[in-house]
């Protein structure tokens, strides 16, 4: 468990540093449009992906999907080039930051329309069910999307069609600039329960619980019972990078808590720091490599 945790931590550090390097590129004007960084959800990204099988499962994500795409195993250089709008990106720069497509890594697509990715994951679930190969469809969306009809309709559809599907709600309490308190009536996880989904709640700042809950939810979906996980995450760099939030890229709350967990597992601070440094160097190098050369080149 401790070795796994350290490995997960290193993956989180990679995503965090990758996003930091992308932010630097954005600040330098090297990203065609706005970027929505996934800083704050690293632990959720990595833990969720650790329970999936990229040969069988397909994940669809929101506009904020750099982290989950990388966690699933999308090629980092291709992801970086895609975000920078370059040839050699996943789609040679035609899609961009909000349209990351890496089905070979089990990441079917991210999406520019809030909530639209959710019914598409039901389609991946239907394909898996039809093939009877044990795969699942996973929809990752934010609490802001949970007020979209597409999400609520799909929860109902997944239950009545008995789809092997997992709904994963990254609950950061914000819908763009509107707080959940003013945007959402009732409880989001209670909604999913009322549709008949197996509902779970966890916090990405509690790594052990997160591992346990995602493991259970993925198993449930694999058995053909649609499930939903409400996972608390933070949103560390605003709706999009540069819209006024702090620019600390050191670690998310969840990552700091994962550090403590690892140090309690008889792993030395040196090992932890080494893992972090290695991940950061790798991420910085890959984004620099993507950025090298002429724009669009």
Partner 1 sequence: MQSRLLRKLPQGPPMVKRDMTLQQALNQALHQMMAENDSVVCIGEDIAVSGGVFGVTGGLAERFGNARVIDTPISETAFVGMAVGAAMTGLKPMVELMFCDFAGVCFDQILNQAAKARFLSNNRLELPLIIRTTMGAGDGSGAMHSQSLHGLFACIPGLTVVCPSTPADAAGLLKASFASADPVVFMENKQLYTTTGPVGEDLPVVPLGKAALVRAGGDVTVVAASAMVQQALKAASALESGGVSVAVIDPRTIKPLDIDTIITSVEKTGRLLVVDEGAAYGGFADAVIAQVTQGAFEFLRSKPGKLTPPDTPVPYAVLAEQAWLPGAKDIEKAVLNMMDQNNDNT
Q: Residues interacting with partner 1, by CB under 8 A?
A: 58, 60, 90-92, 94-95, 99, 101, 103, 108-109, 111-113, 116, 118-131, 137, 149-150, 153-154, 156-157, 160-161
Where does 179-252 have alpha helices with state H? Answer: 180-183, 188-194, 207-222
Q: Minimum distance between the CB of residue 282 and partner 1, rounded to whole angstroms?
A: 26
Q: Minimum distance between the CB of residue 234 and partner 1, rounded to whole angstroms?
A: 29
Cβ-count burial of 140 within 10 angstroms (0-12 exposed, 13-18 middle, 19+ buried)? buried
Cα distances (Å, whole numbers) of residue 189 to 61, 146, 184, 197, 198? 19, 10, 12, 9, 10
Q: Minimum distance between the CB of residue 103 and partner 1, rounded to whole angstroms?
A: 7
Residue 153 or 209 with smaller CB distance to partner 1: 153
Q: Minimum distance between the CB of residue 180 and partner 1, rounded to whole angstroms?
A: 23
Residue 75 or 282 with smaller CB distance to partner 1: 75
Residue 27 or 161 with smaller CB distance to partner 1: 161
Q: Minimum distance between the CB of residue 148 and partner 1, rounded to whole angstroms?
A: 9
Instruction: Identify the CA nearest to 204 among candidates 176, 164, 245, 234.
Output: 234
Residue 108 or 272 with smaller CB distance to partner 1: 108
Residue 81 or 235 with smaller CB distance to partner 1: 81
Say whether 262 sits in a helix, a strand or coil.
helix
Query: Contact, 213 vs 202, CB < 8 A?
Result: yes
The tally of CA atoms less than 13 A away on the side-chain side of residue 97 is 20
The tally of CA atoms less than 13 A away on the side-chain side of residue 254 is 34
């Amino acid at each position: 468990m401790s070795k796994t945790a350290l490995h997960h931590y290193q993956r989180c550090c990679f995503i965090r540093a990758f996003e930091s390097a992308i932010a630097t590129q954005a600040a330098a004007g090297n990203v065609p449009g706005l970027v929505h960084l996934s800083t704050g959800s690293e632990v959720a990204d990595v833990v969720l992906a650790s329970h999936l099988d990229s040969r069988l499962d397909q994940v669809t994500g929101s506009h904020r999907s750099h982290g989950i795409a990388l966690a699933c195993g999308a090629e980092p250089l291709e992801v970086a080039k895609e975000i920078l709008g370059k040839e050699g990106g996943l789609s040679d720069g035609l899609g961009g930051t909000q349209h990351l497509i890496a089905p070979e890594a089990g990441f079917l697509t991210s999406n520019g329309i809030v909530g639209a990715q959710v019914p598409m994951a039901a389609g991946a679930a239907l394909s898996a069910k039809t093939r009877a190969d044990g795969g699942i469809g996973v929809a990752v969306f934010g609490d802001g999307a949970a007020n979209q009809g597409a999400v609520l309709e799909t929860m109902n559809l997944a239950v009545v069609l008995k789809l092997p599907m997992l709904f994963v709600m990254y609950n950061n309490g914000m819908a763009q600039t509107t707080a959940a308190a003013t945007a959402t009536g009732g409880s989001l996880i209670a909604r999913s329960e009322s549709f008949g989904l197996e509902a779970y709640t966890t916090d990405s700042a509690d790594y052990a619980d997160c591992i346990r809950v995602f493991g259970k939810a993925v198993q449930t979906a694999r058995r053909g019972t649609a499930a939903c996980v409400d996972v608390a995450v933070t949103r560390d760099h605003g709706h999009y990078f540069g819209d006024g939030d702090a620019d600390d890229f050191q670690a998310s709350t969840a990552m700091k808590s994962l550090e403590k967990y690892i140090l309690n597992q008889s792993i030395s601070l040196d090992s932890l720091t080494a893992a972090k440094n290695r991940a950061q160097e790798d991420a910085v190098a890959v984004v620099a490599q993507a950025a090298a050369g002429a724009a669009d080149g």
